[in-house]
Structure 1
């Protein structure tokens, strides 16, 4: 039991530490991030100043391209949401039209059929609806 509690606290501490570590980077500009990354790699690989400057330029180029990609993605996402909303509206209009057509058909049939025939027709329609809902894939006429 003590080991489980220790593991739980350790996991909680690590997750908190990982979250705090990532938050500090959000405050840095792209240039500062590129400089830090270049300096870190320069220290690890023992690079000269020329290599470090080229590495910083490379990081800046990649960060700018990534930022442009984010902006494009945001625009595309907004465009897709607009299209999705338009499709929802169109679907709803189509559903309402089908419902109105169905009600009109029902009223016309009621004028043509006798009361018993109409009642039988309604029962057949209900049976059909239940058959579709059951998911067996067969629709009987």
Structure 2
């Protein structure tokens, strides 16, 4: 009986450790990622319902295209990166088309901030101290 309890405890520890390594997060579905993207954009730009619907369709198209590109199995890292960048730029252009003039200005600022954050993350700096990003 003691051996069984010890094995169960060990198994539980391994499972807990594995989940901690994964951050305990479950993968989000494409629809959940779309909703998160739309919610973030709506928060930044104060989108109306029509804009939210259009943005959701644009983000879903982008995610489907990116998934298709990943599934193609292109092993050339630079070619795959270039394709992803192209898809991202096309999405940005489509999003800009549905925005008002004031929203476009805010969106450009948001994109610049996002680019700087990503640049910092690539250089190993991660988020700035004090919880700023």
Q: Is TM > 0.5 for Structure 1 vs Structure 2?
A: no
Given the two structures, how large is their TM-score scaled by the length of structure 2?
0.35
Give the structure, 1 or 2, with the largest relative contact order (CA under 8 Å, sep 6 or more): 2
Structure number with the higher helix fraction is 1
